Chains A and B, each alone.
Chain A
Amino acid sequence: MKKEIINIYSDNKIKTNEICDFCISEKEVNSSFFIESNKSLLINLIDIDNINSSINIIFNLKNKSKLLLNIISLSSINNKKEYHLSINHNHPESYSRVNISGINLGGNILVDAKARIIQGANKSDTRIEGKITNLSSVARSRISPILYIKENDVKASHSASLGSYNEADLFYLTSRGLTLGDAKKAITYGSIYPLINNINDTRIKTLSLDKIRSLSLC
């Protein structure tokens, strides 16, 4: 059987376990993923180019299927990056983890993430996590994780944090000799590194690392 190519810009049926890395290079993404029973999909979405983007993706999960979605977002000055994600747990024992990590240098990062667990999709498990660091006073970020749960026997949680650097953390790191810029780098890099480390495509991984490393954070 010929393997179908997964495309972030169209609709996809996931019939085998898949791991994919996508670097966003176009303005608009409108797509959907149907994950078949017992199958898993890991997507690393890297959106670090100096472009506006509007990412709209729907995920539908069948019995015992699994979704791991990691998004790395870097917004430069005046960029507007929007993410509208729907994760639909339509069948029992489906599992999803969404992790969004952003650095906002002075644009907009807006995240709407909705997870639905319908009645009957018992033992499903969903978690949405988001963390965006604003690095300038004009940076605007928003994370809205929403959980619609119609079944009792499930696990569902979310956490979102927005902010600039924690002053107490910076003081601690600089008190041991790191310059302020290096301390900020260590914290930013540290928050995003675990996601970058997950990227399988070595070219995309190197590209992302270089981009994050080259940020000047003074």
Chain B
Amino acid sequence: MLKINDLNVSIDSSSILNGINLEISKGDIVALLGPNGHGKSTLFHSIMGNPRYVVNKGNIIFNGEDITKMDVSTRSKKGLFLAFQNPPEISGVMTLDFFKNSLNSHLDKPIKLLDFYKKTTQAYEDVGLDSSFIERNLNEGFSGGEKKRNEIIQLQLLSPTLAMLDEIDSGLDVDALSSIAKVINNMHEKGTTFILISHYDKLFSLINPNKTFVIINGKVALSGDGLLAKRISKEGYSFIEKEFKIKIEKKEKQVSIGSCGVKQVI
């Protein structure tokens, strides 16, 4: 379903991904792990087509089609979805209008109002968010956990074939985490493939990954089955250095996509 060949990506001319190779099949639940600042979010943004991330070499094949140069909205329509590590707050854009527009962009005919209402009401209920949030500006003033829930609502509305969830568990309370795990497991049963980034073992005890990729220094340094993810999220990365002789460079974290909350004003 997804095949990435020798992907090299840079941001503002500093290179972040240095030859990523991986393959994901339909129905997989993939755990994408790696220490802070080693390129996990960068990989997600590159797959989704963020224009800030320049692909210098390599390609991304999705369902047999080379999407490396495809624009972002087309990738979304082809069935890709990225739940952001830090969803931006967009003032002036009402959630309701945005949900309707994004849903309609995936449909041939605009959705009927009643169907839209039913769909959104259900999605809000599933993540335990009051449906009055739909009248607020997109993510504006939302708490960390509310933003994550809002991402899952959109995941449900758009029902992609491949969903990439970037630290969807960070900031969620225990109850929210289990409702969201339920949504993910349900969607997986219905055919959605998932790639999950998480630093905590709780998520991987609620959702069982069958594959693990570990990104270190902008490369897939190690891969394995679901047990690898469980071991790393319990023990950390030091055993990798010892057992597999992989050197983990300490990253001085400057800017992470995770800290893009600040508005860029020129």
**Residues of A participating in the B interface, judged by any CB pair closer than 8 Å:** 134, 161-164, 166-169, 171-180, 182, 186-187, 189-194
Contact = CB atoms under 8 A, between A and B. Distances in A.
Interface of chain B: mostly helix, strand, loop or mixed? mixed
Nearest to B263: A166
A168 B256 CA distance: 13
9 closest Cβ contacts across the A-B interface?
A: A190-B92, A177-B105, A176-B102, A174-B72, A177-B76, A190-B93, A191-B92, A163-B266, A174-B73
22 contacts: A134-B266, A162-B265, A164-B266, A166-B88, A166-B263, A168-B88, A171-B45, A172-B88, A173-B90, A173-B93, A173-B102, A174-B72, A174-B73, A175-B76, A177-B76, A177-B77, A177-B101, A177-B106, A186-B98, A190-B92, A191-B92, A192-B92
B73 A177 contact: yes
Interface of B: 45, 48-52, 71-73, 75-77, 81-82, 84, 87-88, 90-94, 97-98, 101-103, 105-106, 137, 154, 158, 260, 263-266
B72 A171 contact: yes
Contact of B264 (A163, A177, A192): A163
Contact of A178 (B45, B105, B265): B105
B64 to A, nearest CB: 21
Contact of A168 (B75, B81, B91, B264): B264
Interface of chain A: mostly helix, strand, loop or mixed? helix
A194 B92 contact: yes
A171 B91 contact: no
Given A169-B88, A191-B92, A161 B265 contact: yes
B72 A175 contact: yes
Output the residue of A163, A174, A182, A190 with the most chain B CB within 10 A.
A174
B110 to A, nearest CB: 13
A178 B264 CA distance: 21
Contacts of A164: 266
A191 B75 CA distance: 27
A182 B101 contact: yes
Contacts of B266: 134, 162-164
A144 B50 CA distance: 34
A176 to B, nearest CB: 4
B164 to A, nearest CB: 10
Given A163-B266, A166-B264, A167-B51, A190 B90 contact: yes
Contacts of A190: 90-94, 137
